[in-house]
Amino acid sequence: MLAGVFGDAFRFMPNHFSLLLEKTGETAELAFVALGIALVLALPLGLWLGHRHRGLLLALSVSSAGRSLPSVVLIGLGIGILGVGFWNNTVALVVLAIAPILTNAYFAIDGVDRDVVEAARGMGLTETQILTRVELPLGLPLLLTGLNIAAVFVIATATIAGIFGGGGLGDIMARQVTYGLGGVFAAAIWVAGLALLTAAVLGVAQRAASRRMAPKT
């Protein structure tokens, strides 16, 4: 059975290559639009709170709330309130992505060595310069970890959104009648590939940033 399913899946890929490409594009678009909006909303807030060392409680509750909100429920609420479409899913994904970005931005900046910041302030850097030239580079590895988690999270949820009419690879996975088990399996492999690729790229960036930070053996 296993070999058969794999065989079907790998036959499906070349036969429906343009379909898979199109659906991957839909999933990626949904995921990256949501990630972009979440970054714009959460990053400045997280950075600012971290810089002022304020809002620990907010950061902690957002991260705890983000973890305990099932993505399926958010998608359902989006449909219930906004109806089926691109935006209901985008809103749900944005809400989910905000938590890891906000909390990691907060802890990345808040955790920067206070002596280093003190020294920078003593050297006459403005608050904005301290944030952009000292705290941001030092907090970058942790910040990128948050982005990585958010990206993985959003791609996974964008797939789930697909089974509820959100389009993308999840759409293929929900329609076994139309695409057959091979199609479902092929879509699963592609979405896993998309997520792993994203995680790998961000992982490389994160490791590069932390290696630059800590060249000690």
Partner 1 sequence: MSGMRLAGGGPVIPNFGHPSACIKHNGWFCTDWISKHWGDTLQPALIQHIQLTLIAVGAGFGIAFVLALIGFRWRVFDAPLASFSDLLYAIPSLALFQLLVPLTGLTVTTVEIALTSYTLFILYRNIIAGLRAVPADVLESARGMGLTRLQTFFRVELPLAAPAILGGLRIATVATISIATVAAFLIQDGLGAPIFDAIGTPDLFKTELLVSGGMAILLALTADFLLAFVQRLLTPWSRLR
Binding site for partner 1 (CB under 8 A): 1-2, 5-6, 64, 67-73, 75-77, 79-80, 152, 155-156, 159-160, 163-165, 170, 173-177, 184-185, 187-189, 191-192, 195-196, 198-199, 203
Residue whose CB is less far from partner 1, 123 or 197: 197
Minimum distance of partner 1 from residue 112's CB (angstroms)? 19
Minimum distance of partner 1 from residue 126's CB (angstroms)? 33
Residue whose CB is less far from partner 1, 131 or 206: 206
Minimum distance of partner 1 from residue 165's CB (angstroms)? 8
The Cα 131–Cα 110 span in angstroms is 11
Residue whose CB is less far from partner 1, 21 or 73: 73
Residue whose CB is less far from partner 1, 115 or 177: 177
Minimum distance of partner 1 from residue 122's CB (angstroms)? 28
Minimum distance of partner 1 from residue 25's CB (angstroms)? 16
Residue whose CB is less far from partner 1, 43 or 187: 187
The Cα 180–Cα 17 span in angstroms is 15
